[in-house]
C-alpha cells in the first residue's frame, strides 16, 4: 500500500504551526524535498522549525490561502507531488470572536487549493486537515468516518464545510483529495493560547516556585488527546493509500480536562486544587462536553496507532517547559 517517498516534493500550507513543523521534520526524514507556506514568509515566526532544527532545510513561500492567484502561483511554481493543507485559523476559542476570518481562511483557502488542482494536469495528492470539532458532542460513543457532523463552533463549521468541499472535488473531478479528522493532539510546540500548553507551562512555573494562580474554565469537558508527532505520520500515511479516502485519527480514549490538570501538577509534585481557580469568563459560548474518536479504520487501513498515553504527553510537555526555563537561566 505504501509508496516510495524519496525525491518526492511536498508542499505544506501552514508549515509554521505545530503540525506543520512536525510534518516537515517527518517528511525530511523520508527523503522529501519540503516546501512550506506562510502568509508572509519574511515575517513568519519560525519557532517550531527552529526548535526542531530544520529551519534551514525547508523552502518558505509567501501564500495567502484566500487569494486564488497567490495559491495558484505557489502550487504551480513548486510543482509538488503532495500538498498538506494545514493552514487557517486554528483556535476554537478565537473562532467565536473572529468567525469571519476563521471561515474565510479555512473554507476559501481549501477551495482555492482544490480549484488550482482541478486545472492542473498532474495528479497531485492533497491532504486536508479536518478536525474532531466537526462532530460536536460525541457522547460516550466514539465518532467514526460515518458519524454526522454537528459542529458547535465557527471553527468546527468551517472545518466541516472544507471537508465537504474535498469530498465533492474528489467525487466530481477525480482528485486524489483526502481529509484527516484529527482529534486533539499536543506537544511542546503547541502555542501558549491553547489550554493544554497554558496548563503545562503554569504547572512547570508553579512547581519551580512561582506563586501565581492558574485560572481555568470548565474542567469537566472530556477530550481524546494524542501526541502530535504520531498524528502527522497519519497524515502522510493517508496520502500513500492506493485510493483517496477520509480517516478519523484518534487515540480512542477520552480524559477530562481535570485529569489533564491533575496529571500536570502531579508531575511537579503538587496538588492541582491548591493552585487552580475557576473563571467563568473562560467558558466558551458553546462547548463540546465529550469528544471521542474511533481509530479502527486508521489501524486497519493505514496500520497506524497512537504510541503515547496522556500521562506521558503531559510529562514530555512539562519536561520541555523546564528545559526551556533552564536554558534561559543558563
Return the residue matching grid coordinates 468551517. Answer: 158
Give yes or no for a contact between 312 and 187, defined as CB atoms under 8 angstroms apart: no
262: closest CA among 208, 308, 200? 200
DSSP letters, 182-249, are E--EE-TTS-TTSHHHHHHHHHHHHHTT----EEES-S--EE--EEHHHHHHHHHHHHTSSS---EEE
Three-state SS sequence of 121-136: CCCCEEEEECCHHHCC
Angle at 21 (CA atoms; ends 26, 194), nearest 5 degrees: 130
Return the residue matching grid coordinates 479516502. Answer: 245
Q: Is 179 helix (H, G, I), strand (E, B) or coil?
A: strand
Q: Quick one: CA dihedral 49, 16, 235, 292, positive or negative?
A: positive
Which residues are tagged catalytic?
A: 131, 133, 155
Amino acid at each position: 500500500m505504501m509508496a516510495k517517498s524519496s525525491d518526492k516534493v511536498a508542499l505544506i500550507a501552514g508549515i509554521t504551526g505545530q503540525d506543520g513543523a512536525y510534518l516537515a521534520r517527518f517528511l525530511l526524514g523520508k527523503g522529501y524535498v519540503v516546501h512550506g507556506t506562510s502568509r508572509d514568509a519574511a515575517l513568519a515566526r519560525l519557532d517550531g522549525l527552529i526548535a526542531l532544527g530544520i529551519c534551514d532545510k525547508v523552502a518558505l513561500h509567501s501564500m495567502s490561502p484566500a487569494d486564488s492567484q497567490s495559491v495558484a502561483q505557489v502550487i504551480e511554481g513548486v510543482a509538488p507531488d503532495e500538498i498538506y493543507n494545514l493552514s487557517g485559523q486554528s483556535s476554537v476559542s478565537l473562532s467565536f470572536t473572529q468567525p469571519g476570518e476563521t471561515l474565510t481562511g479555512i473554507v476559501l483557502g481549501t477551495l482555492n487549493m482544490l480549484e488550482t488542482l482541478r486545472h492542473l494536469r498532474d495528479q497531485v495528492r492533497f491532504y486536508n486537515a479536518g478536525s474532531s470539532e466537526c462532530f460536536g458532542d460525541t457522547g460516550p460513543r466514539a465518532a467514526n468516518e460515518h458519524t454526522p457532523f454537528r459542529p458547535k463552533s465557527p471553527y468546527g463549521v468551517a472545518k466541516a464545510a472544507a471537508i465537504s468541499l474535498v469530498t465533492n472535488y474528489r467525487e466530481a473531478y477525480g482528485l486524489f483529495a483526502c481529509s484527516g479528522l484529527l482529534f486533539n493532539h499536543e506537544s511542546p510546540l503547541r502555542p501558549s493560547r491553547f489550554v493544554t500548553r497554558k496548563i503545562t507551562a503554569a504547572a512547570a512555573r508553579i512547581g519551580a516556585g512561582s506563586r501565581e494562580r492558574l485560572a481555568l474554565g470548565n474542567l469537566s469537558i472530556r477530550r481524546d488527546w494524542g501526541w502530535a508527532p504520531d498524528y502527522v505520520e497519519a497524515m502522510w500515511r493517508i496520502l500513500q493509500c492506493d485510493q483517496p479516502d477520509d480517516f478519523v485519527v484518534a487515540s480512542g480514549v477520552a480524559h477530562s480536562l481535570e485529569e489533564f490538570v491533575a496529571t500536570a501538577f502531579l508531575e511537579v509534585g503538587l496538588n492541582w486544587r491548591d493552585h487552580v481557580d475557576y473563571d467563568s469568563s473562560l467558558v466558551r459560548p458553546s462547548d463540546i462536553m465529550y469528544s471521542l474518536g474511533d481509530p479502527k479504520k486508521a489501524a486497519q487501513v493505514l496500520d497506524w496507532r497512537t504510541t503515547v498515553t496522556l500521562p506521558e504527553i503531559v510529562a514530555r510537555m512539562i519536561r520541555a517547559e523546564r528545559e526551556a526555563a533552564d536554558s534561559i537561566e543558563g
